[in-house]
Amino acid sequence: MPIAYIPRTRELYSAYAPYRWVVNEEPPPWTPLRKLLAQCKVALMSSGGVLYRDQPRFHREDASYRLIPRNANRADLSIWHFGYPTKDAEQDPNCVFPLERMREFEAEGRIGELCDPAFTFMGGVYSARKVREELAPKIVEELRRRRVEALYLVPA
């Protein structure tokens, strides 16, 4: 099903100046893995707006994130996002938050250890500045504190 997000975006923001697209002048930093993925602690992160049990819903301009326990069941998860139709993700959160697949990868030895917790936020509905200055530094600190060596980011 095609998503008419451009007309929707224009309508939602018609009272504001036209959007200024982010232009990244520098390539993203790249750090090669120093060991096999099967030996790494890997974190799951999604911008799909996934919530665990009674966590508060995301809101517009929300640069916060939620921590999802690695043992969460599908019944524990819900989706709250303004930027995409969430019907499929509500039926199977793995399409935007593949927690079950990541646990399988750990059990099969494809990854060394799945970080507990996983991370989720509502991406795409606020500024790149907020991501760079507010959201990213907080998550990076969480990842460092948990000694995460690789990150699997699923954009929604």
pLDDT tens for each residue of 119-155: 999 987 667 788 888 899 999 999 999 999 999 999 9
In a domain, 92, yes or no: yes
In a domain, 11, yes or no: no
In a domain, 140, yes or no: yes
In a domain, 138, yes or no: yes
Counts for the chain of helices (H) and strands (E), in that order: 5, 7
3-state secondary structure at position 153: strand
pLDDT at 82: 83
pLDDT at 37: 97
110/128 Cα distance (integer angstroms): 33
In a domain, 82, yes or no: yes
- Residue pLDDT, tens place only, 69-103: 999 999 999 999 988 889 999 999 999 999 999 99
In a domain, 117, yes or no: yes
In a domain, 5, yes or no: no
E strands present in 39-129:
41-46, 50-52, 65-68, 77-79, 113-114, 118-121
Domain that residue 57 falls in: 37-154
Q: How many domains does the chain have?
A: 1
In a domain, 21, yes or no: no
pTM (two decimals): 0.82
pLDDT at 128: 78
